[in-house]
């Protein structure tokens, strides 16, 4: 590949250079070692913005084990009507299916809860390769079922449940939406897919253009898929485009990043959903890279987040 594009925002160029220099080559490490490296480089939790409730609980997992979730309830605002139940977002973090956890996305989930005005349920799903696909999706689905049954106790509206996720978590939100439809599970009103890892096609235009030098790489993406789904990927529980039909799925918010190798697949999935009759709100963040929403220190991230929050507010607004 040629050198990185010369027209990038200086702050993006600086951030990409820092990430390229400092983030470990995931393919060179044992997954457990990789998790330790990433945790060791993490800043201390800020626990900001402040929440009315931020609580870790364990629920029954799909296989009889315990599944951790963290529930965020934002403070009420002056415009809130007393007694109004809030919309709910069941969230799956990114991390290539291999790393990250509730803490890595704590600030992002707090910001989402505060700005969208939603109760957020963040899911500590089982990680690969110790737990291959579709274990993570089944954990996400179980968390959705628990939420539908219990979230009213946290001021959430069980009739307004959305699923959301960034990167690998976007895959889990998409596949769990398909599972809920196919299993006649809880009603989901929206799926929020943030630079989602939709499929394992590494030959798309965005992979060809941005597969090297832009933080997330083709090499890393191939490794993530090999960790998560080494035993075949023909199921819609693993790759959503394997579904026989996308009709009847929840309304979608699809946000992609131009400099991200999975960008083309995310855009294609938005088009497929729309062709199947699913309402879609779609936005590509030009000049930005995979994972940027969880870098609040980047100058371009706060306005981009506000765009995402607004799209979420729109899709979660109660119907009249």
Round to the nearest angstrom and report the end-to-end CA distance of the chain: 52
Cα angle 235-177-254, degrees, rounded to a multiple of 5: 105
167 is catalytic: yes
Q: Tell me the C-alpha distance between 39 and 300, whole Å.
A: 25
Helical H segments across the chain, by residue range: 10-22, 31-40, 106-116, 135-150, 168-182, 205-210, 218-228, 263-275, 301-316
Q: Return the structure tokens found at 199.
A: 């499929």
Q: Tell me the C-alpha distance between 37 and 32, whole Å.
A: 9
Q: Which of 142, 187, 138, 144 is nearest to 164 (CA)?
A: 144
Q: Is 273 helix (H, G, I), strand (E, B) or coil?
A: helix
Catalytic residue chosen out of the listed positions 122, 167, 177, 264: 167
Q: Tell me the C-alpha distance between 4 and 209, whole Å.
A: 10
Q: What is the DSSP letter of 72?
A: E
Q: Rounded to an integer, what is the distance from CA 220 to the centroid of its chain?
A: 18
Residues with catalytic roles: 167
């Amino acid at each position: 590949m040629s050198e990185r594009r010369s027209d990038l925002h200086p702050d993006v160029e600086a951030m990409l250079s820092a990430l390229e220099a400092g983030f470990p080559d995931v393919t060179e490490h044992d997954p457990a070692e990789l998790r330790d490296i990433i945790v060791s480089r993490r800043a201390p939790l800020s626990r900001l913005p402040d929440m009315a409730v931020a609580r870790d609980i364990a629920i029954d997992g799909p296989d009889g084990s315990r599944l951790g979730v963290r529930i965020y309830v934002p403070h009420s605002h002056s415009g809130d009507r007393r007694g109004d139940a809030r919309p709910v977002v069941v969230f799956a973090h990114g991390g290539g299916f291999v790393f990250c956890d509730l803490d890595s996305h704590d600030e992002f989930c707090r910001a989402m809860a505060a700005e969208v005005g939603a109760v957020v349920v963040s899911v500590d799903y089982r990680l690969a390769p110790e737990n291959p696909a579709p274990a993570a999706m089944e954990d996400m689905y179980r968390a959705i079922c628990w939420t539908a049954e219990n979230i009213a106790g946290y001021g959430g509206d069980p009739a307004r449940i959305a699923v959301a996720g960034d990167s690998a978590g976007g895959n889990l939100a998409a596949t769990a939406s398909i599972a809920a439809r196919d299993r006649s599970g809880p009603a989901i009103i929206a799926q929020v897919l943030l630079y989602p890892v939709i499929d394992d096609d590494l030959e798309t235009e965005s992979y060809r253009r941005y597969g090297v030098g832009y933080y997330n790489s083709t090499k890393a993406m191939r490794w993530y898929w090999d960790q998560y789904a080494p035993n075949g990927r023909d199921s819609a529980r693993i790759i959503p485009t394997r579904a026989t039909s996308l009709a009847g799925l929840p309304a979608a918010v699809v946000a992609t990043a131009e400099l991200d190798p999975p960008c083309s697949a995310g855009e294609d999935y938005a088009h497929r959903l729309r062709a199947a009759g699913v309402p879609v709100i779609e936005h590509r963040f030009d000049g930005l890279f995979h994972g940027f929403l969880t870098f609040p220190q980047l100058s371009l991230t706060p306005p981009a987040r506000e765009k995402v929050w607004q799209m979420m507010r729109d899709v979660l607004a109660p119907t009249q």
